Each structure stands twice: as structure tokens, then as C-alpha cells.
Amino acid sequence: MTSRLPTRGTEAPSGDRHTAWTPRLVRRVAVLMLVNVMVDTVIGAPLLVLPEMLDHFGTDQAAWLNASAMLAGAMWAPLLGKSADLHGTRRVLVTALLLCGAGALLCLIAPNIWVFIAGRLLQGAAVGAMFLSVALIRQICAPRIAMTAVGVVTSGSAILGAVSPFLFEALAEEFGFRSVFVVSAMVAAVTAVCVRGLLPESPVRTGGRLDVVGAVLLGGGLAAVLSYVSLGSEYGWFSAGPLALLVGGAAVLARWVVVSRRTPEPVIDIGNLSRPLVLTLLVVLLSTGAYQSMLQLLSLIADIAPADGLGYGLADQGTLGLLFALPSIGIMAGGTLAGWLASRIGPASTLAGGVAIGMLATFGMYLSISHFPAAVVFAGLLGFTAGAIVTSAFNMATSTAPPESQGVVTGLVQVMLAIGSVLMNMVGAAVLTSTTVVVDGAEENSAAGVHGYIGIAAGSFVVATVVSAVLARRRA
């Protein structure tokens, strides 16, 4: 049962949706862009100081230090999404930001790796902050304006990706790796104040209670399965620890399915998911993992020179900074353009177009692994694909759901983004590990492994292209 709650304080009445770009809407979009900047400080910035963190804690568990926040995001997403529909998107967004800030402070003072990982798990709430910003935009804007605004919010902060690495590297060199978490805590606090003071509360709420048991089962099961994928390539896919995570996670997810069918108001009503939403989630899973794995491959081959005789390599051919700056620019351009086009031709068509461009760019990687100019072009296209797909997926998912379910459906998209990213990156890494060659006594990735890596991503994009074309045709 759905209820429309009366407004309080700065809450916007349901009839007071933005129908045009005004200075007030620009300010609100800027605040939500700041939310995604904060997400970047949680997910991306620690990668720049990963070696220092490993040395400080005396461990080689890079996967846990790096991926723990993203894995925790998959656990947080269902709980935050349903909570937003019940209690208000702005309120839950502020809570997620405060949790993220607390996690950053815990990482800052962590005396050992386990306390540090606990802080990273709290920081995972930042992943939820990203999709909650999308849900809030959809609730306070008319659909035509909302689609463009979603594009700006989800991709506009990407331009900082070309600048922030230099800032964080300078801070880490001067003050140590902990400075990254000082910045993250400060940005989280400032963003929470801005969200609370400058944004309205969502005007539509659902009635009922939060299915805490279902949320814990779903989030815990997803986190365990993704942890298996994250650790399996390092410790062995059939070793005791990772295999226990897989079996335990699968059992928890199976239990969640049983419990959700018996619960009157489950955190996700799996029996009531529409076909367009299911197809959208499948496209997100396949395409997100594919383009993320390609961006990872570029970083792996950037330090290899053609003169090394491995059959690939980009070093000594040009300014490698272009390979990492252009995807950020592409994300901003692709997301903004996809949002603008979605308001005119529909998000299903823009999603299909973004996936098709990604497929072409991935096949172009066969040429890019040894030719720097081609690598620059296709890196930019992959960034463009990333922006277009994320924006279109959020727009498509929210267009299939009523206003009172925006938190849940955007949370589902976020879960698919996390699963796709972790899954395809780890599968690609496993392919490279199984096909290494020995050169001058050192193991190196082989050309066969690199080509197989690209082939898996290309195949994933081909399937995603077919599914997105079917979706676009049905929606038309």
C-alpha cells in the first residue's frame, strides 16, 4: 500500500517538481554532484596509496583493502534503497554520508588491518549514496528534466578524475596514506550538511515496515559471493576459504528467496519485477563488467613497451596520462548526452546506443593493445560508454517503477554495477594468470591471455547489445 506523506520543513510538495532548469535546480544538482565526488574519494582515492597501506599493515591482502568498500556497497544497497522509500530519500542519504564519514575516521585511526577493513565496510555506504542521489532527482524533478539531471549528476564528477589523482598523490607524499581518509571524512561531513540544508525531502513515501531480516540476508549473501570472486583468483577457486564463502553465500541467498516469498513487504519483491527492469539489470551486469575490465586492461598494458616482444604494449609511444584522463572526460560527455537524449528518444534507446558503442570500442581494443593512438581513441570511447550506460540504466530502471519505489530500483541497479565490476575484473585477471609466459626469469602476461581477456569482454558486450536492442524495441 502506498501513501503520500505531508511535507515537513524544507520538503517539496508533490506538485512542486522542477519542470525547467532554474538556479535552484542547478544548486541542487551541484550538491548531488558533490555526493558523487565523495564516492570517488571512497572508491578511487585509496587505490593511489594501496602500496603504502600494504606496507603499513604488513599484508599482501590488496583485494580486501581495495575491494572491501565496493563489496560492502552491494550489502548496503538493498537496505538503503528500501529505507529511502519508507523514511525519505534525503534522510537516508544523509545517514549514508555520515556512515561513510565515520568509516573514514575509523580507517584513519585503525591500529590493525581488521579495524581498517571494518572502516572500509562502513565507507561502503557511500556506494549507496550514489544511487540515492539518482532516486532523489527522479522524485523532485519532472521526468523530462530528471533524465538530463541524472546524466549530469552521475557523470559530472568524473571530470575530477583527471585532477584528483595528482592531488591525492601530493597529499600522500607529504602526509602519508592516512591523508586520503582525512579528505574523505571532510568531504562526507560537508556533503551531509549541504544535502540536509539545500535539498528537499522526497515527497513520496511507502507505508509499511522495513524487512531487516531480508535486507541482511540479501546483502550478506551478495557480499559473500562477491568475496569469493574477489579472493578466488588469489587463493584458488577451490581452496577451502573462498569455497566456503561461495557455498555460504549461495545458501544465504537461497534462504533470502524463501523468506522474501513469505514476507508481506520484502525488501525486494522478486515475484513482482517487471520484464523491462529485469532486462535492464541484465544489460547493466554484462556491460558494466565488460567496460570496467577493459579500463583495467589498459592500466595493465600501459607499462609494457612493444620492444619487450610480448606482442602488445603502449609504453614509450606517447603520454600515458591521456589513457587515464580521456575516460573521465568520456564519462562526463557520455552521461550528460545520454541524459539529454533520453528525454527525447527514451532511456531504452540511449542504453542500447551506449552498449553498441561499447561493443565497438571493445573490439577496437584488439588494435589498441599495441598502437597508442588507437588506444587513446578507444579509451575515450570506453569512458563515453561507461557514462552513457550508467545514466541510461538509472533512467530506464526508474522509468519502469512508480515514484514510491525509486529507492529500491536504483538500489538494484547499484547492486548490478557492483557485481558486474567485480565479476568481470576477476574473470579477466584469472585468464591472464592462467596464460602467463616467462621472460628473463619473470612471469609476464602473454599476448594470448590479453586477446582472450578482450574476447570475454567483447562476448559480454555482444550479448548485452542483443538484450538492449530487444528492450529498446519493446519499449518503443
Indicate if 438 and 321 belong to the same structural domain. yes
pLDDT confidence bin for 297, thresholds 50/70/90: confident
Instruction: Check whether residue 316 and residue 443 sit in a common domain.
Output: yes
Residues 219 and 200 in one domain: no
pLDDT tens digits, residue range 163-184? Answer: 776 777 778 778 888 898 999 9
Indicate if the pLDDT at residue 432 is higher than 90.
Answer: no
* First vs last C-alpha separation in the chain: 30
Average pLDDT on 439-448 reads 83
- Domain limit, last residue, from 182, 205, 228: 205
> Which pLDDT belongs to residue 320?
66
State the pLDDT at residue 233: 65
Residues 229 and 289 in one domain: no
Asked whether the predicted pLDDT for residue 2 surpasses 60, the reply is no
Listed ranges 51-65, 83-97, 255-269; the one with the highest mean pLDDT? 83-97
User: Average pLDDT, stretch 94-109?
Assistant: 94
- What is the band of 66 on the pLDDT scale with cuts at 50, 70, 90? low
Whether the per-residue pLDDT at 5 is higher than 50: the answer is no
pLDDT at site 464: 96
pLDDT value of residue 158: 74
Per-residue model confidence as pLDDT tens digits over 208-221: 788 888 888 888 88
Which whole number is the average pLDDT over 41-54?
A: 78
Q: Is residue 4 part of a domain?
A: no
The answer to the question of residue 307 being in a domain is yes
**What is the count of structural domains for the chain?**
3
Could you tell me if 225 and 116 lie in one domain? no
Would you state the pLDDT for residue 241?
Answer: 84
The answer to whether residue 92 scores a pLDDT higher than 90 is: yes
Same domain, 279 and 300: yes
In a domain, 338, yes or no: yes
pLDDT for res 310: 85
Task: Decide if 10 is inside a domain.
Answer: no
Q: For residue 277, what are the contacts with CB-CB under 8 A and spacing of at least 6?
A: 397, 400, 401, 409, 412
Q: Are residues 324 and 362 in the same domain?
A: yes
Within a domain: 17: no
Residue 426 domain-assigned? yes
Say yes or no to pLDDT of 14 above 70: no
Report the Cα 380 to chain-centroid distance in Å: 18
pLDDT at 98: 95
Structural domain includes residue 116: yes
Q: How far, in Å, CA of 285 to CA of 289, rounded?
A: 6
Does the structure show a pLDDT above 60 at 467?
yes
Does 74 have pLDDT greater than 70? yes
Whether 177 and 262 map to the same domain: the answer is no
The least confident of 7-16, 25-34, 395-404 is 7-16
Q: Do 176 and 221 lie in a common domain?
A: no
Share of the chain above pLDDT 90, in %: 35
* Average pLDDT of the segment spanning 202-207: 75
pLDDT higher than threshold 50 for residue 270: yes
Flag whether pLDDT at 102 surpasses 90: yes
Q: Please state which of the ranges 231-240, 349-358, 359-368 shows the lowest mean pLDDT.
A: 231-240
Residue 278, pLDDT score: 93
**354 and 474 both lie in a single domain:** yes
Among 252-256, 258-262, 457-461, name the one with the lowest average pLDDT.
258-262
**Spatial separation of the C-alpha atoms in residues 109 and 103, rounded to whole Å:** 10
Among 266, 284, 299, residue at a domain's last position: 266
| Mean pLDDT in residue range 230-246 | 80
Tell whether 144 and 186 lie within a shared domain.
Answer: yes
Which residue type is seen at 397? Answer: A
According to the model, what pLDDT value does residue 474 have?
86
Cβ(242)–Cβ(235) below 8 Å: yes
> Which has the higher per-residue pLDDT, 167 or 102?
102
Q: Considering only CA atoms, which of 17, 143, 129 is closest in space to residue 399?
A: 143
pLDDT at 8: 37
Cβ neighbours of residue 436 closer than 8 Å, sequence gap 6 or more: 443, 444, 445, 446, 449
pLDDT at 63: 59
Q: Which domain holds residue 262?
A: 211-266
For residues 123 and 79, membership in a common domain is answered with: yes
pLDDT of residue 186: 93
pLDDT for position 322: 74
Instruction: Tell me whether residue 3 is in a domain.
Output: no
Does the pLDDT at position 157 exceed 90? no
pLDDT at 161: 62
- Report the CATH number that the domain containing residue 360 is assigned in CATH: 1.20.1250.20
pLDDT value for 49: 78
* pLDDT, the chain, mean: 84
